Structure 1
């Protein structure tokens, strides 16, 4: 497993991050259950302005993971929600580097970053309800389902036929 270097993204990184996240979220994946067969992945769009907003938002940091050649291989968003809680979002790994432990390293770094930087004791994140392999992956990383769900933004995917029960499953992990 390669040694990764981490840093907070700046506004100059927005386009590069947008490309990484959009490619990672749109990638076809042969592992059953990792991506959906609903056409969601091919319809996923992320605007550079949305990434810029994440980078510049107070109490929010987009973390970037680069390899020894300074190539962006992974990223994750973090935001402080309260004195004791932070939220992780949009974990992405370069499609050519998936299954190599980068996702685990990026997630672990983000957890440590939130604990060190903001002193939080609880982390939250979510996963699409139809992504059973991803839900299992988060569970193996110590995240527990809270029993809560968040609505899926159907208005962004009006051209797709989606299951009525599609939603985001909420997770929490105690880190401090």
Structure 2
């Protein structure tokens, strides 16, 4: 599917349930590529609360951008937050699992970067990725992001039943646009 067949809009409160379903299914999807999912047990149990999405939708400095096709089918979403006069943060890039590996994620990421640049005059876009998702980190590097050297702790308390690596963390990445 070409990017010209994508239609974007900003999510509203009514979109919260479908965003929850899309994000969870995208993050839980199995992928055979080495290092893409990271820890399968962690990915398969991923969940997000509707109130977390709703608070982002209601925040004047945050948007969830929704991608649809010409038939109004939901293709994916990404969150973006304004973090200062020239910095934006992207999060929760989620693509319908049936469309993985088809360029949809790249198109959504590109649109989000341009949205932040156009609407907020952002010059720097930041995001993070789980340290065990090596292929995803490499994908962001190919999109022009660079590792900042900063990391953030993974909230292990949310996954007490899983045997997680001690050094599990989020890798910070950024890109100048």
**Distance in 2 separating the partners of 1:85 and 1:149:** 18
Deviation at 1:48, TM superposition (A): 1.2
Q: State the 1:36 CA deviation.
A: 2.2
Instruction: Show the counterpart of 2:109.
Output: 107
2:142 to 140, 143, 153: 140
Structure 1 residue ranges (4+ consecutive) displaced by more than 2 angstroms after TM superposition: none
Aligned mate of 2:120, from 118, 121, 133: 118
Post-superposition CA distance 1:73-103 (Å, at most 9, x none): 1100000011010000000000001111000
Structure 2: segments with no counterpart, 5+ residues: none
Aligned length: 175
Q: Which residue of 2 aligns with 1:174?
A: 176
Give the distance between the partners of 1:5 and 1:49, measured in 2 at CA: 26
**What TM-score does the superposition give when structure 2 sets the normalisation length?**
0.97
Q: Do the aligned partners of residues 99 and 38 (structure 1) sit closer, same or farther apart at CA in structure 2, a change above 3 Å counting?
A: closer
Question: Who is 2:86 aligned against?
Answer: 84
Partner of 2:154: 152
Aligned CA-pair RMSD: 0.8
Quote the residue 1:11 is aligned against. Answer: 13
Aligned with 2:30: secondary structure?
coil
Structure 2 Cα separation of the partners of residues 174 and 37 of structure 1: 30
Residue of 9, 12, 20 corresponding to 2:22: 20
Q: Whole-Å Cα distance in 1 between the matches of residues 43 and 113 of structure 2?
A: 26
